[in-house]
Amino acid sequence: MENPYQNTAEPEQKSFEFDTANFFESFIGVGKELVLRPRLFFKGLPRTSDIKNPFIYLVICSFLSSLLMANIQKGDINFFMVLMVANTLSAFVGGFVLHLLVTRIYGISALFGSSFRIIAYASLMDIVSWTPIFGFVAYFYGLYLIFIGLQETLHLKPRQAGTAVMLIILIITVLLFFAIFMAAGNLPEGMKMLEQGGSGTPPA
């Protein structure tokens, strides 16, 4: 006889992400979930090919982080624009490479939107990754978010997720180093900016 007091059904996980229709509240809500409940957040992300909302979220984070970095380095508008474009482009490249790795190498069926969402939402940490005090922690927490996102959204094993994160680090590091050198105008000045940056390369 079925026990009426035993609930065998798993609680339904509601999908939630940044929504332009509820701009400020959802932006703050996403940040709160990423800090307090990252596993539940990534687990509840919609599995769709539509990347409008995560793309806008990425652009906002790229804008804020590039503006902060340009001010710290006393850079001009060109420096700011190069950083923002490089930051946004590196996220797309990282998401694309990540998607190829997951689908072609690991053989997991997934839409590009799912792979891109992980990189886009982890870019929240870029906003503080260049600050002298919190930059180091924010940088590695951003990598941790990608690591968790790969497991919860794309169902990768920890070792697979770790390999993917290392590849993303390599790609984004190369792109952002190139962007800083281009913005600085020459290699020595670019290296000087990197040394003053504090924490290293942002996660996305």
- Sequence spans of domains, the chain: 20-197
> Which range, 37-46, 131-140, 176-185, has the best average confidence (pLDDT)?
37-46
10 pLDDT above the threshold of 50: no
Cβ atoms of 165 and 146 within 8 Å: the answer is yes
Helix, strand, coil fractions of the chain, as percent rounded to 5: 70, 0, 30
Q: What is the pTM of this model?
A: 0.76
- 1 or 87, which is more confident: 87
What is the distance between the alpha carbons of residues 87 and 131, in angstroms, rounded to a whole number?
A: 16
* pLDDT attached to residue 186: 46
What does the alpha-carbon distance between residue 166 and residue 146 come to, in Å, rounded to a whole number?
Answer: 10
Average pLDDT over residues 22-44: 93
151-170 mean pLDDT = 89
**8-state DSSP, 102:** I
Please, are residues 111 and 48 in contact by the beta-carbon 8 Å criterion? yes
| Mean pLDDT along residues 87-100 | 86
pLDDT at 176: 66
**Chain mean pLDDT for the chain:** 80
User: Is residue 189's pLDDT more than 80?
Assistant: no
What is d(CA 43, CA 38) in angstroms, rounded to the nearest whole number?
8
Residue 184: band (very low, low, confident or very high) from pLDDT cuts 50, 70, 90: low
Asked if 87 and 176 count as a contact pair (C-beta separation under 8 A), the reply is yes
Give CA torsion, residues 86, 54, 153, 105, to 10 deg.
-40
Q: Residue 189 contacts by C-beta under 8 Å, 6 or more apart in sequence?
A: none
Residue 199's pLDDT band, with cuts at 50, 70 and 90, is very low
Yes or no: say if 99 and 115 are a contact pair by the CB < 8 Å rule: yes
